[in-house]
Amino acid sequence: MPIALDRRTRRDADLRHVGMEEFLAGEFPDLVARHGALVARGIELLDAPPLAIEIGADSWSFSGDGTTLAVARGVADGALVVTFSEDEFSDWVQNQRSFNAMITARELRYRDGGERDISVWDSLWLTLLEGWPVVDDGLEFLDRHGGPLDFRRVFTPDDDPADVAHFLREAGFLHLRGWVDPAGMKEVSDDIDRALPDYREGDGRSWWATTADGTHRCVRLQDFVGRSPGTAVILRSDRWDQLRRTLAGDDDLAQRPVEGSGLEALIKPRGVVAGASDVSFHRDCHFGRHAYGCSGTVVGIAVTASGEANGQLRVVAGSHRVVMPVEIAKTRPYLPVVAVPTEPGDVTVHLSCTLHESTPPLVEERRVMYTGFSLARRDEGTDGGRALSELRERVSKILLDGTART
């Protein structure tokens, strides 16, 4: 059965400092009882080494014993060794920050293993915490009537909303046409050109990249709606609210604010050699906090056409249903990889848990806008996602010059 959109199992209000001994004596036995067999199978299929965690002078190793996940003191032979501070471990064991977030921030300290091992254990740890398997031998892609899903299908506003909502939950993505007037995309592209002089590198509202000729290009414009009346009309239209209701199905989705940072415009130039522009396979929750916020829907509006020549969105179908490691998706994905070529005005949707990438333009640049609909907010009283939001805003500089630190 397709998963529900709302996969939130943890609340910020329950966050506390968790040490290894407390975790092993408290939460770990129940997690192993429920999910240990899934972890052990993932270890076997992905040929994962043991994972050793060092905190101060103490160390513990996690490994599969063929049937479940076991833990023992010390560093096991052949283990990937990760060194944590007490605070870092507490964040990691509560799904606040992942290995991937720490690598991106240049914070993760590890040895005797590579990025593949790190990526695999990021996924295996989510399997332990959330019961999200790395593989599912019985996974099928079926439409609402039991027939095979057509990954090339393009949905229009005239299609049955139940079919659209089902496809999203089954495949993890959608390709839509007819929800936005393509005639307005030329004006939106002109708005991007008019807005560009208002952005400066380091302004906190834009990302920049370097192209092969040494040029610094603005590639991400936040707060764009206020500079594009046509875009504001789209987001305030009845058709856009129809889209929200269609995607929601039986769930409750809320639109991001029209004003402010609720939408961003992206420019994808040719020949980017540094900076965050064409990002290879990733999840929008791969920095952490999957259990606190997923699944939201990320909605793209094609300002220009996309395809092999000028880059396009590619998704790993069903990757919201199995937690395929990011590094595996980049090299040997074991689920279908689907390209989503678009015409101006087309809309794409992917879930925050779906692996996706932007391929680089080969002939000419492309332009796209991104916004989305989020699960209805819970009254938490805290903002546990602030640190990851700040990290995402620093990603471009980290990738551009490799010098950024916390």
Tell me the pLDDT tens digit for each residue of 34-82.
999 999 999 999 999 999 999 999 999 999 999 999 999 999 999 999 9
pLDDT at 405: 32
Residue 246 covered by a domain: yes
Residue 73 covered by a domain: yes
Residue 189 covered by a domain: yes
Arithmetic mean of pLDDT, 257-278: 90
pLDDT at 4: 86
The CATH number for 107's domain is 3.30.1050.10
Does the structure show a pLDDT above 80 at 377? yes
318 with 200, same domain? yes
User: What's the angle, vertex CA 180, arms to CA 300 and CA 266, rounded to 5?
Assistant: 30
Total domains, the chain: 2
Arithmetic mean of pLDDT, 176-195: 98
- Give the rounded distance of the alpha carbon of 184 from its chain centre: 29
253 with 396, same domain? yes
pLDDT, one tens digit per residue, over 105-114 is 889 999 999 9
The CATH number for 285's domain is 2.60.120.620
Does the structure show a pLDDT above 80 at 387? no
170 with 233, same domain? yes
Arithmetic mean of pLDDT, 12-25: 97
Classify residue 379 as exposed, middle or buried by CB count within 10 Å of its CB (0-12, 13-18, 19+). Answer: exposed
271 with 347, same domain? yes
pLDDT, one tens digit per residue, over 157-173 is 999 999 999 999 999 99
pLDDT, one tens digit per residue, over 355-371 is 999 999 999 999 999 99
Does the structure show a pLDDT above 50 at 279? yes
pLDDT at 269: 96
* Six-digit token string for 145: 């009537």
125 with 184, same domain? no
Give me the domain span that covers residue 387.
161-401
pLDDT at 243: 98
186 with 308, same domain? yes
pLDDT at 398: 63
Give the separation between CA 122 and CA 117, rounded to whole angstroms. 9
Q: Is 389 left (phi over 0), alpha (psi -120 to 50) or beta?
A: alpha
Arithmetic mean of pLDDT, 398-404: 53
pLDDT at 230: 96
pLDDT at 223: 93
Q: Provide the residue count of the chain.
A: 406
Does the structure show a pLDDT above 60 at 147? yes
Kindly indicate the confidence band of residue 299, based on its pLDDT and cuts at 50, 70 and 90: very high
Residue 290 covered by a domain: yes
Kindly indicate the confidence band of residue 382, based on its pLDDT and cuts at 50, 70 and 90: low
pLDDT at 404: 36
Does the structure show a pLDDT above 80 at 1? no
Enumerate residues 6+ apart whose C-beta is below 8 A from 93. 18, 20, 23
